Structure 1
Amino acid sequence: MAESPTHTDPQPIDAILSDVYRQSLAADVGSVADYIPELSKADPANMGIAIATVGGQLHTIGDAETLFTIQSISKALTFCLALERLGRDAVSQRVGVEPSGDPFNAIELHPATRRPYNPMVNAGAITVAGILRDAFGADAFEIVHQRFSMAAGRTLSFNEAVFKSEEETGHRNRGIAHLLIGAGALELPADTALDLYFRQCSIEVTAIDLARIGATLANMGENPVTGKQVFDVTAVRDTLAVMFTCGMYDYSGNWAYDVGVPAKSGVGGGIMGVVSRQLGIGSYAPGLDPNGNSVRGVATFRALSDELGLHAFDPTNAGSGFIRTFFDRNTGDVRL
């Protein structure tokens, strides 16, 4: 049997980032989200990429330090917190883990269980917000904000204007919340669960923050820079599994096929990807496709997956992938 080719002289990671950045800039800009008025103010020309390894290294290019709101990427992290706090069985009684095949803001529940399909669609995320509200009471947002900040390794800011904009225009989410109450998946009152949901989506991050948070998840819940254990290991495993199957809206199946890494996108223009035990990737480009994913962000991840051999089912990952070339099995570090 012929041996797989090896990368004896791999390109430096910064050169690859530069190439990927140029390729992604050539993609269509997409359309900035306007159903939340404050999001329509984003500059569609902005684009940044960051890679953070489990060994603490950071590589960036472009607008990687530009602030934007985390939006639906928060759904993965709050789900992780709910699993940690209540356990898998209790959470699964109120929200499932199946891909829905419907838009993320669909006013629809699983026909058999009468529960949200998964925590990455709005119905599931609002249910998770209700779970955290019930568990933590008035301190729920403070705890969510603190954990997000711990994962990023710095205190994250909060965008009051985006929060107010979401609160004032979130009528569809209010309809979803009342449907959930009628189905028994969400407990009264609806307003406090929605308030937490709108607030978690309005936390500000950069592409660097997303990469650091992704690296924390990749590092079994421990922030690789601060050394603090942020998330429970078992909760991280379950969260990454749902991110892999449901994290990219209606593109999730194609994402698993084309990119092959757990990821979560947000309509603020961010995408966070996690390569377990290796690294986190963050991208920012606010122009969206019809599914609500960043057009240039998707192009970035597709190119990085190809260039670095990141796909979970890429047969070259076992020995000749770019990342494996730099992976120290003894320390778990990726020396890029």
Structure 2
Amino acid sequence: MASPFRSYLNDLYNKHRGLKKGRVADYIPELALASADSFGICVVSTDGQTFEVGDCDKTFTIQSISKAFVFGLALEDHGRKYVNSKVGMEPTGEAFNSIILDEATNRPYNPMVNSGAIATTDLIKGRNGTERLKRILEMFGRYTGRAHDINVPVFLSEKETGHRNRAMAFLMLNFSMVSEKIDETLDLYFQQCSMLVNAKDLAMMSATLANGGVNPVTGIRAIEERYVQDVISLMLTCGMYDASGEWAYRVGIPAKSGVAGGITAVASGKLGIGIYSPPLDAKGNSTRGIKVCEEISRDFGLHMFNTATPKHDLVTWMNGDHDSLGW
């Protein structure tokens, strides 16, 4: 029996597929090769239902979305107190690649900007870069339920053009915020950002967080339950670059975006959303992705601070049939 939620996503996809605003990222040469027409929406519920439309199997590099999940792994490796001594929790109001540190503590402001993500990646345990990368890839596999590969041309492109990230790393080394393994950690950071995912992966990752850290399809725990709130709290306040405040106000769902055009969003206890659409706005967020998340949040009352009756009941729409809803 057809779910009305599936029809809803189809309508949403058709409504926004013709949106031409935004530009495909080109500051990393390999990213400029993406098609501006690619567009996919996937939603996974905490009971494992999957709804998808469009280019949900098309792979792209995860980019900054990786930051939230690697932050969770660093918490598991070291605990809150130590991780928070190396990276803060405050939004910056600045671009994600700004070379700034907190003047009072010398820490990067949060794990979602490049400097903070480099500091977080530096904390991942392992005897060498290969072992550390293996642990990161295995962690993502627990979230998505499948193995992941690195896009080598993107990795090499990021490594070749990553001078600004090197400047951040050496500045943080000066203040003992990162170890002396600068080259190894930067390679690891560029590799984690170059991991291949699709919109279904992003939806499953956020659904896992929404489900208390347990993958709703495989039943495998991806992150300790006590650290889920750390990850999604910073996704809400810092996850959408320097548009995070407006996102929290208008959409109200913890989310993380990436410059390849991905967005993953977490409606705690309900569902995860994964979107792929490469054209970005001036802040680096997917233009179609923002529109889709705004409408899903509004129509189903998913804003974290919503107290009004939603336009549609989420459970009924996911499980009901058209006739019972008066279609």
| TM interval, short-chain normalised | over 0.9
Q: Is the 8 A contact 1:30 1:287 kept in 2?
A: yes
Q: Which of the residues 151, 156, 159 maps onto 1:164?
A: 156
Q: Is the 8 A contact 2:46 2:211 kept in 1?
A: yes
Q: Is the 8 A contact 2:299 2:311 kept in 1?
A: no
Question: Cα offset for 1:145?
Answer: 0.4
The alpha-carbon distance between structure 1 residues 280 and 127, as it changes in their structure 2 partners (threshold 3 A), is same
Q: Which of the residues 27, 36, 49 maps onto 1:35?
A: 27
Unaligned runs of 5+ in 2: 321-327
Identity of aligned residues (%): 47
Which residue is equivalent to 2:100?
108
Question: Cα offset for 1:116?
Answer: 0.4
Give, as a single letter, the amino acid of the residue that structure 1 aligns with 2:256: K
Give yes or no for the alignment of 1:270 onto 2:262: yes
Which residue is equivalent to 1:211?
203
Partner-residue secondary structure (3-state), 2:86 = coil
Give distance in 2, aligned partners of 1:18 and 1:159: 30
Which residue is equivalent to 2:126?
136
Q: Which of the residues 65, 69, 85 maps onto 1:93?
A: 85
Unaligned runs of 5+ in 1: 1-10, 327-333
The alpha-carbon distance between structure 1 residues 325 and 315, as it changes in their structure 2 partners (threshold 3 A), is farther
Q: Which of the residues 281, 285, 289 maps onto 1:289?
A: 281
Give distance in 2, aligned partners of 1:56 and 1:69: 24
Give yes or no for the alignment of 1:44 onto 2:51: no
Question: Cα offset for 1:112?
Answer: 1.2
Partner-residue secondary structure (3-state), 2:275 = strand
Q: Which of the residues 126, 137, 145 maps onto 2:137?
A: 145
Q: Which of the residues 295, 299, 310 maps onto 2:302?
A: 310
Question: Cα offset for 1:165?
Answer: 0.6
TM-score (ref. length: structure 1):
0.91
Q: Is the 8 A contact 1:27 1:299 kept in 2?
A: no
Q: Is the 8 A contact 1:29 1:44 kept in 2?
A: no
Q: Which of the residues 4, 9, 21 maps onto 1:12?
A: 4
Give distance in 2, aligned partners of 1:324 and 1:67: 30
Question: Cα offset for 1:211?
Answer: 0.3
Q: Is the 8 A contact 2:152 2:194 kept in 1?
A: yes
Partner-residue secondary structure (3-state), 2:126 = helix
Question: Cα offset for 1:23?
Answer: 2.6
Q: Which of the residues 155, 170, 175 maps onto 2:167?
A: 175
Which residue is equivalent to 1:301?
293
Question: Cα offset for 1:72?
Answer: 0.2
Question: Cα offset for 1:325?
Answer: 4.4
Give distance in 1, aligned partners of 2:169 and 2:200: 33
Give distance in 2, aligned partners of 1:156 and 1:189: 25
Aligned residues: 316
TM-score (ref. length: structure 2):
0.93
Partner-residue secondary structure (3-state), 2:289 = helix
Q: Give a deviation string over 1:98-144, Cα, whole Å, max 9, x none.
A: 00011000011011111000000000000001111xx2232111000
Give yes or no for the alignment of 1:256 onto 2:239: no
Partner-residue secondary structure (3-state), 2:308 = helix
Give, as a single letter, the amino acid of the residue that structure 2 aligns with 1:223: N
Stretch moving more, 225-234 or 18-27: 18-27
Give distance in 2, aligned partners of 1:124 and 1:54: 30
Which residue is equivalent to 2:313?
322
State the Cα RMSD in Å: 1.5
Give, as a single letter, the amino acid of the residue that structure 1 aligns with 2:314: I
Which residue is equivalent to 1:69?
61
